[in-house]
Structure 1
Amino acid sequence: MSVSTPASTVSTPVSTVSTSASTVSSHIAGILVDAALSAGAGTDRIAQLLGWDPELLRDRSFRIPVGDVSRLWGLLYTLAGPRAGVLAADRAEHGRLYVWDYLISNAPTLADGLREAARFNTTICDPKVGLEVIEDGSLLTARYFDLPHREPLDALVREFAAVVTARRAVAGFGDAGIPVRVEFSHSAPADRGYLVRALGTGNIHFDQPRDAITFLGTGAPVRPNDPLLQGILREHAERMLESGDPEPPWLEAFRRVLRARLSDRATGGARLDEVAKRLGVSERTLQRRLADHRTTWRVELETVRRDLAIALLRNGSDSIQSIALQLGYRDHRVLARAFRRWTGQSPAGFRRAIAN
């Protein structure tokens, strides 16, 4: 997305690389889970809130629905109040944001590092979130926009983003990374001292038209850097964006439970209430979560039934009636109608074709 700026400025637009909408990297979600744990939330409470095991966040390839991330921010706000954004930033040690961190810290100048951060912001953020870098004379400004959360969570996210950006700048470029001005579009908290300490400056302004953090670009040192390593990091970030996103962890957890229920001969199919209970949520919450992922119980059930029916007919010797009952159908005739709809063949015809 390109943003026009006055002729006297040089603007680095945010990345336009496509990725699945309304998801956030597992790195961000992992930081929020750690912050919630440090604030007193138990693992069970977090799992219940999300409907999936937080251990799945160990997989760096996962992208988390923004709705789940909002739930984590809501939990943090309940536990820590307005300071929750800085609490989360405290858990975001250098390296927690993976390649994004190293693109900044390996850059030769602060301006170059912030440009890399803007270009590959989507590796950690919702693709709708923008990060623009503007150079205007001696000033270097990073501006975030289109943050997806509502009040009061939006203030937490803005403060988290500003503190993480400032700390990455200081880690890479020393005192030159201390901001000279910070702007927030939300109202000032009752006590802004925690932000002064976290950002290293008292020049913080609220109720502004933008969310921005400004540095003195002319004072930033030019450091020796490894351009080959920077190229490798950039290529890796590009592959992350181009490879597409795997299924979010909640949806994968749901499908794993559903497959397990249908694979168990003793269960005789899978019911909505049973799967919801296994996931630790209500039936209504389960259906709402499926809707959030643009799918339904019926669609998911039919998909797993189809895949299991094909696998059982191809690899097993069970009767078609037995397979029908295992998959939760009343009898083999109902399975036959569904199987013909899926494949254009009867179960018996499919099995004969495989045998031949």
Structure 2
Amino acid sequence: MPPHVVRLVLEAARTAGVSEEELKRLPGVGVLDQEGIRVPTKMLTRVWEISSAAFAEAGGAPRVARLWTPGRFHVWDYVIKSSANLTEAFELAAQHIPAITDPHSAFIVQQDPAGRLTVATRPVSTFGRVSELIGEFVLGLLIQQAGTALGRPVTPVAITVAGEPPRSRSDLLDMYGTPDVQFNASVSSVTFSAPDATAPLPGADPALAAIVRDHAVHTVANARLILGWLDKVHAEIAASFADGPPALDRVAKRMAMSSRTFQRRLHEEGTSWREEVEKVREAEATRLLRDTGLTIDTIAARVGYIDVRALRRAFHRWYGRTPADFRREREQAAIADNHDYLQ
């Protein structure tokens, strides 16, 4: 993802009282002042993880969302501002999601027969309160974006939050501008009234909009990818699957290290060889089950298992179910999500 949101959350973490020493220990933060780069998404989720307790004490997601100002997210902000109305703005923003965040995130934009506009958000997967904070932040950001684009305050007609209500709701409800917030929903979404959805935007400029959209595509396509050390380890582990179960000494050699130095560096990163192999296997096996029609036997081989029984044991350890059950539940959940977005 581009570094814009990471910088914003880091700033919020500092103002919430997270120590500078702790933030400096985050891998890769030294490159965030550069432009024209993309950084690992896990960098952002790690900032949320170490800051979540401080955010909870200091007002939660509003502390982060309120630091946004027009133009802070570069070309993505102008995609919205130069559009004809909010409906077009968020439809285009959804198309250009890689310009602001991980392309595996998503906005689903739907206008109902009465003209009301709903934007549902599906952030990149993470866990627990971190996931809830990210969802709360995105909804607050969308409301602020809408108000800035329209040049006036916007009150949503409905909000759904895919998570438990925070200990104190006052800051969250103040940011959303409405008490009509449903928690524990299947998706996080914000719904705007038909007049707000169709009102002409003061900054609408078709010629500028076309230029901005081209620029959004160009900046993503030409960005320089910055990989952290563990990202490189993960890439080497994934590449070694073709040779069977990954071996520490082979991966260490590909990282231009001795096995002992490699293990010491893993320890300095707060992890181990076994943990990192497990992470890569889980991520890759999950992706293949979700996004491909490959057989489970083939997937087991693709992630370096000797046989499918090892994959089944691993999946039970990760998710408490078999790979076949996981795939079937994902397919059913996708159908249910699509139904929810269309309602």
| TM-score after normalising by structure 2 | 0.65
CA distance, structure 2, for counterparts of residue 218 and residue 189 of structure 1: 31
Q: Distance in 1 between matches of 2:89 and 2:266?
A: 43
Q: 2:101 aligns with which of 100, 105, 125?
A: 125
Aligned to 2:149: 172
Structure 2 CA distance for aligned equivalents of residues 215 and 285 of structure 1: 45
Task: Please name the residue that 1:90 is paired with.
Answer: 66
The separation in 1 between residues aligned to 2:279 and 2:32, in whole angstroms, is: 18
Alignment correspondent of 1:215: 192
Are the aligned partners of 1:32 and 1:88 in contact in 2 as well (CA < 8 Å)? Answer: yes
SS in 1 for 2:39: strand
Q: Are the equivalent residues in 1 in contact too, given 2:49–2:130 (CA < 8 A)?
A: yes
Structure 1 residues 161 and 26: alpha-carbon distance in aligned structure 2, compared to 1, 3 A threshold:
same
- 1:202 equivalent in alignment to 2:179: yes
- 1:158 Cα shift? 0.5
TM-superposed CA distance for 1:159, in Å, is 0.4
* Cα deviation code 1:201-245 (max 9, x no counterpart): 111111122211000133442135222211111001111233365
SS at match of 2:148: helix
2:55 to 80, 95, 101: 80
Structure 1 counterpart of 2:165: 188
Question: Alpha-carbon deviation of 1:70?
Answer: 1.8
Q: 1:287 to 1:229 in 2, by over 3 A?
A: farther
C-alpha separation between the residues in 2 aligned to 1:27 and 1:119? 18
Runs of 5+ in structure 2 lacking a partner? 234-255, 281-343
Match of 2:89 in 1: 113
Q: What corresponds to 2:217 in structure 1?
A: 238
| Aligned amino acid, residue 44 of structure 1 | E
| 1:206–1:71 distance in 2 versus 1, CA, 3 Å | same
Match of 1:60 among 35, 39, 44: 35
Equivalents in 2 of 1:292, 1:26: separation in Å?
A: 27
Query: What is the aligned partner in structure 2 of residue 69 from structure 1?
Result: 44
Matched-pair contact (CA < 8 Å) for 1:56–1:249: no
Larger radius of gyration: 1
Measure how far apart 1:274 and its partner are. 7.3
Aligned to 1:33: 10
Aligned residues, how many? 255
1:42 matched to 2:19? The reply is yes
User: Using a 3 Å threshold, how does the CA distance of structure 1 residues 42 and 281 change in structure 2: closer, same or farther?
Assistant: farther
For the residue of structure 2 that corresponds to 1:177, the secondary structure is coil
Which sections of structure 1, spanning at least 5 residues, go unmatched?
1-23, 255-268, 295-356
Q: Is the 8 A contact 1:184 1:212 kept in 2?
A: yes
- Kindly, what percent of the aligned residue pairs are identical? 22
Q: Distance in 2 between matches of 1:88 and 1:167?
A: 12
Query: What SS is found at the alignment partner of 2:60?
Result: helix
User: Would the alpha carbon gap of residues 272 and 244 (structure 1) be closer, same or farther in structure 2, given more than 3 Å must change?
Assistant: farther
Q: Distance in 2 between matches of 1:185 and 1:204?
A: 11
Shift of 1:31: 0.8
Structure 1 residue 164, shift from structure 2 partner: 0.4
What secondary structure is seen at the aligned counterpart in 1 of 2:215?
helix
Q: CA deviation at 1:92?
A: 2.1
Query: Which residue in 2 is equivalent to 1:226?
Result: 205
Q: Does 2:127 correspond to 1:142?
A: no
Query: Are residue 282 (structure 1) and residue 265 (structure 2) matched?
Result: no
Shift, 1:156, TM fit = 0.1
Worse-matched range after superposition: 285-294 or 26-35: 285-294
Does the aligned pair in 1 maintain the 2:162–2:185 contact within 8 Å? yes
Q: Does the residue aligned with 1:25 lie in a helix, a strand or coil?
A: coil
Tell which deviates more after alignment, 106-115 or 79-88: 79-88
Write the letter of the residue equivalent to 2:186. P
Match of 2:132, SS?
helix
CA distance in structure 1 between the aligned counterparts of 2:47 and 2:131, rounded to whole angstroms: 13
Distance 1:118 1:185, change over 3 A: same
| CA separation of 1:105 and 1:34: change in aligned 2, threshold 3 A | same
SS at match of 2:14: helix
In structure 2, the CA distance between the partners of 1:193 and 1:30, relative to structure 1 (3 Å rule), is: same
Q: CA deviation at 1:62?
A: 2.7
Residue 270 of structure 1 and its aligned partner are, at CA, apart by 6.8
Measured at CA, do residues 146 and 160 of structure 1 come closer, stay the same or move farther in structure 2, by a change above 3 Å?
closer
